[in-house]
Amino acid sequence: MRPWNAFTAAEAEVRAMVADPRWPWLPEPARARSIAARTLVTRDGDRWLFGRHARWHLHDPADGRWHPAPPPRRLRARQVGHHAAALPSDVIPRGPDFAAEPGSTQAFVGPDVPLKLCEQVGVLLRANCRKPEGDYPLTAFDEIFATDVPSTVAAVWGTIMWCAYAPAFDGNERLLTMFGEFLRRPLPGDEWVRWLPAPPLVDLVTLVGERQRSGHPRTALRLAALIADTAHILLSDTRFRPRALALLTMVEPALKRPGLDDHAALRDEVMRQAWLERCPERLSRAVLMETDPEAHLSHVVYDLVEALAFTPDPPRAAATYLADLSDSRSLLPGRLDHRLRHAYDELDQAGLTSTSASERTQPDGFPVMAPAFRPAPQSPHTGSFLPPGPSTGTGHRPAPDERRTGSARYSSETGGQSREEIGRNSDEHPTGGGPTGGRGGFTHARQEAGTGVMPPDRASAAAVLGAAYAAGLAWSGLSGARVPERGFAGSAALVHRLIHERDDSPT
């Protein structure tokens, strides 16, 4: 049997069993036996099973845990079975969890958000951005927007950012530019990318719940409807779709039954929980960052390893991106499967982990200079990495009367340069990551690792960038570690692979 066929066959069998309408009604021991019987073992001794959330799980021989992990594509495997009683319930498929939306790990760097989607959001924003501030006070997102901005603007923004798989946006992205006149300060990032935080669901809940508690139920309903309208628009892009669907299932029942959340709105956390309870199990993976941050981290790490399938050793390549994360208490390795953990430990012993911890955030949105990189001997598979320069993006916040006339515009472009000019300038740099100098090179700051290679095409680079940034955000949400203003080193390095190619279609 060819190496990948064993995994393909086992996956097909499990999918067929779980698709049977009788599956959810089987006792858990019976479901466990069916899954355990299809456990595979590779020649290196690793045990694999296809389980919960339609994902492969790897057995950790050190402690017996099963970690979500993509299987190897280059190793032979045979079916050996496993003790059903030893399987934890969280790896056994329930049925609806196999119907999850596939989505996309691509960030919004490289492939822009489609023009039609941006235009629809723009129409929605223009129709709602002049609401009276007294009726729509800014009760959340006040670190992003000026105090005179109505919460309708924050509702549209918050929905976009919450639904995004990895909210890292190209500096020329139309979807960000339309919010420029409302910003309180420049968005974090450099001249090419805005590395934006992922807001928690409670921020959206607060916008609605505060109006309900203040005795303005119709205003609360309008804000909820605006969140739903924005989510509907986002459904057309797979990078938003899974979470947009989940958000709609949470919000739409309250629109159909006004007063549904009246009691829950007394406290934002209670209302947040009421929203999450309305999310069906088939969309449960889309809200793991809210319901189970530790499981969410495991799944985005799965995405990262999968996005690096073009490399000779995906787990080792993924470890070089995970090494970006600040981990002063050494909690990250214990959350990784043993393949990732061993690769991470090698980097740790070489002093190449927790690189983000050395950065310092300056106040008021000013850029953080990238940390210095240690020189490393070049190997046939490594190349040079040009760290991003100081930010030249603007974030001018006009006076209220200036904003209302529409005369001020936010520009995240690089001093008036086009993307093509940026690419040409980078090509001329002696160490730049241009198309000729960087395509075969190592895209990560830790060149010593020697395992990360340049993605073969634009889509692959965008997928790796998105998954790596999502992993950083997931770790930040779980551990409280700070997200660097200028992005994690591995993600930022990939930008140099993408800025040389047009996002728009030349005419």
Which residue from 153, 155, 140, 150 is spatially nearest to 224, judged by alpha carbons?
A: 155
Residue 104 in any domain: the answer is no
Separation CA 320–CA 267 (nearest Å): 42
Residue 271 in any domain: the answer is yes
328 three-state secondary structure: coil
pLDDT above 90 (res 430): no
Residue 48 in any domain: the answer is yes
pLDDT above 60 (res 369): no
Separation CA 259–CA 164 (nearest Å): 29
Percent of the chain past pLDDT 70, that is, above it, reads 79
Shared-domain flag, residues 280 and 338? no
Shared-domain flag, residues 169 and 265? yes
pLDDT above 50 (res 434): no
- pLDDT (0 to 100) of residue 336: 97
For residue 6, give both structure tokens: 């064993």
Q: Are 284 and 97 in contact, with CB atoms under 8 Å apart?
A: yes
Residue 406 in any domain: the answer is no
Chosen domain end from 240, 264, 290: 290
- pLDDT (0 to 100) of residue 453: 66
Which residue from 199, 220, 200, 226 is spatially nearest to 265, judged by alpha carbons?
A: 220
Q: Which long-range contacts (CB under 8 A, 24 or more apart) does 4-12 make?
A: 4/73, 6/40, 6/76, 6/77, 6/78, 6/79, 7/40, 7/48, 7/50, 7/56, 7/71, 7/77, 10/38, 10/40, 10/49, 10/50, 10/79, 11/50, 11/56
Of 86-100, 265-279, 485-499, the range with the lowest mean pLDDT is 485-499
Shared-domain flag, residues 155 and 216? yes
Torsion of CA 51, 53, 56, 60, to 10 degrees: -80
Chosen domain end from 65, 99, 133: 99
Q: Which ranges constitute the DSSP H helices of 372-454?
A: 400-405, 419-428, 435-438
Separation CA 265–CA 211 (nearest Å): 9
169: phi then psi, degrees, rounded to nearest 5: -120, 145
Residue 454 in any domain: the answer is yes
Range 177-203 average pLDDT: 92
Secondary element (H or E) of residue 67 = strand 66-68
Q: Is the backbone of residue 97 left (phi > 0), alpha (psi -120 to 50) or beta?
A: alpha
- pLDDT (0 to 100) of residue 501: 66
Shared-domain flag, residues 261 and 318? no
Q: Are 99 and 38 in contact, with CB atoms under 8 Å apart?
A: no
Q: In Å, what is the CA distance from 155 to each residue of 100, 403, 404, 449? A: 26, 19, 19, 43
Shared-domain flag, residues 89 and 160? no
Is the overall model pTM greater than 0.85, yes or no? no
pLDDT above 70 (res 241): yes
- pLDDT (0 to 100) of residue 445: 37
Of 178-192, 362-376, 457-471, the range with the lowest mean pLDDT is 362-376
- pLDDT (0 to 100) of residue 366: 29
Most confidently modeled of 225-229, 394-398, 425-429?
225-229
- pLDDT (0 to 100) of residue 496: 80
Average pLDDT, the chain: 81
pLDDT for 74-103, tens place per residue? 788 888 888 888 899 999 999 999 998 889
Q: Are 146 and 152 in contact, with CB atoms under 8 Å apart?
A: no
Chosen domain end from 70, 99, 128: 99
- pLDDT (0 to 100) of residue 503: 57
Residue 504 in any domain: the answer is no
Of 18-32, 230-244, 349-363, the range with the lowest mean pLDDT is 349-363
- pLDDT (0 to 100) of residue 418: 36
Q: Are 110 and 498 in contact, with CB atoms under 8 Å apart?
A: yes
Q: Are 268 and 202 in contact, with CB atoms under 8 Å apart?
A: yes
With bands split at pLDDT 50, 70 and 90, how would you rate the model's confidence at 212? Answer: very high
For residue 487, give both structure tokens: 């992005």
Residue 466 in any domain: the answer is yes
Shared-domain flag, residues 235 and 256? yes
Shared-domain flag, residues 250 and 129? yes
Shared-domain flag, residues 254 and 225? yes
With bands split at pLDDT 50, 70 and 90, how would you rate the model's confidence at 436? Answer: very low
Q: In Å, what is the CA distance from 506 to each residue of 115, 156, 385, 499, 503? A: 14, 30, 29, 15, 9
Helix axes 201-213 and 268-277, enclosed angle (nearest 10): 120
pLDDT above 60 (res 398): no
pLDDT above 90 (res 388): no
Range 481-500 average pLDDT: 85
Residue 403 in any domain: the answer is no
- pLDDT (0 to 100) of residue 373: 31
Shared-domain flag, residues 448 and 334? yes
Longest dimension (CA), the chain: 72
Shared-domain flag, residues 214 and 349? no
For residue 61, give both structure tokens: 């021989």
With bands split at pLDDT 50, 70 and 90, how would you rate the model's confidence at 448? Answer: very low
* Domain count of the fold of the chain: 3
* C-beta atoms surrounding 260 within 10 Å: 14
The residue range of the domain holding 331 is 293-386+429-498
Separation CA 208–CA 262 (nearest Å): 11
Residue with more model confidence, 44 or 382: 44
Shared-domain flag, residues 218 and 257? yes
pLDDT above 50 (res 414): no
Separation CA 250–CA 244 (nearest Å): 10
Range 236-254 average pLDDT: 97
pLDDT for 140-159, tens place per residue? 999 999 999 999 999 999 99
- pLDDT (0 to 100) of residue 90: 92
For residue 275, give both structure tokens: 């929203």
pLDDT for 437-447, tens place per residue? 332 333 343 44
Helices (H) and strands (E) in the chain, counts: 18, 7
Shared-domain flag, residues 151 and 283? yes
